[in-house]
Amino acid sequence: MKQRILTGVGAGVFFLLLLVVGGQIYYCLLLLLALIGFYEYLRLNGFHPFHPAGLIGYAGVLFFMLPWEDMGIGVPPDGTAIWLLLLLLLAVTVLSKNKTALDGAALLLLGAIYVGYGFASMYEVRESEPYGLYLSFLSFACIWSSDIGAYFIGKAIGRKKLWPAISPNKTIEGSLGGIAASIIVAVIFQLCAPEIIGLGHAILIGTVAAIAGQFGDLIQSAYKRFRGVKDSGKLLPGHGGVLDRCDSWIIVFPLLVLTGLLPI
């Protein structure tokens, strides 16, 4: 437990420091996390890290992650890029004479979007002007407060299981407590900077971030249970891998961006 706490605090402080610094340093951290996350995804699905189809998946992650506009390079829309990625993965199934099966290609396409777009959205929020740092802190604070609220409320009064087949320790009471904690934190952020978002807007962000974050955690729990593993990786002692720690992030940030809830 001591190692888990020290690792968590140290990693958290380091991450927040780079978040504050922003720019290329924060981008490099997110890029590294995305590549490690996709590496874990490959291993979870039984692919060698340097399998030809896996390399195409890495290329897909890089497409989403690279700051094309900052480099002055025009790129096709995401939909076109996804179709081209799909075509390349399907080509591998043909060229390998089905050694890479169709379902494997589908898994890699899913993973590249899941991981690549998730981390790319975090960078997009941070680099948005003029409130990128505020919106990033708001989003992370809602996610983390939901986790903390769900844990402690669930421990204190949790009785009804939320989804025992996937995550036996989670309760409905804990889930509701996490949503309430996220809303409270979002309201505090709004009161500190009312010129950025309104009260109703803050409550909506807190609600969506909490529900999506908990759903992201359940997605990863279900997937690990299906694959028969406890953790996606061993990057952080006592905490598992990147996908274990960032499962909520890579669902919440894209959703907040795509729905326009974050004014970026």
Residue numbers in the chain where pLDDT is lower than 70: 1-5, 71-77, 236-239
Q: What is the pLDDT of residues 221-238, one digit of tens each?
A: 888 888 888 878 777 666
What are 22's two structure tokens? 């922003």
Q: What pLDDT, in 10s, does the model give residues 240-255?
A: 789 999 999 999 999 9
Predicted TM-score (pTM) of the model is 0.91
Q: How far is CA 88 from CA 44, 82, 109, 173, in A?
A: 22, 10, 10, 46
Judged on CB neighbours under 10 Å (0-12, 13-18, 19+), 67 is middle
pLDDT for position 104? 85
CB 179 within 8 A of CB 210: yes
User: Would you give the end-to-end CA distance of the chain in angstroms?
Assistant: 39
d(CA 53, CA 131): 39
Q: What pLDDT is recorded for position 167?
A: 82
Type of residue at 15: F
Q: Of 97, 123, 140, give the one whose Cα is nearest residue 248.
A: 140
Output the pLDDT for position 76. 63
DSSP letter, residue 99 = S
**Helix, strand, coil share of the chain (percent; to 5):** 70, 5, 25
Q: What is the DSSP string of 146-191?
A: HHHHHHHHHHHH--SEEETTTEEEEEHHHHHHHHHHHHHHHHHHHH
Is 14 in contact with 118 (CB distance < 8 Å)? no
Residues 6+ apart with CB under 8 A from 13: none
Nearest to 246 by CA among 121, 85, 135: 121
The conformation of residue 240, written as its DSSP 8-state character, comes to B
What pLDDT sits at residue 75?
64
Q: Calculate helix-pair angle for 132-157, 2-21, nearest 10 degrees.
A: 160
pLDDT for 2 equals 62
Task: Give the pLDDT of residue 254.
Answer: 96
The per-residue pLDDT for 226 is 82
Q: Can you give the pLDDT at residue 3?
A: 64
Q: Nearest 5°: phi and psi at 73? A: -115, 125
pLDDT of residue 68: 73
- Contact between 115 and 46 under an 8 Å Cβ cutoff? The reply is no
pLDDT at 28: 96
The pLDDT of residue 73 = 67
Say if residues 234 and 40 touch (Cβ distance below 8 Å): no
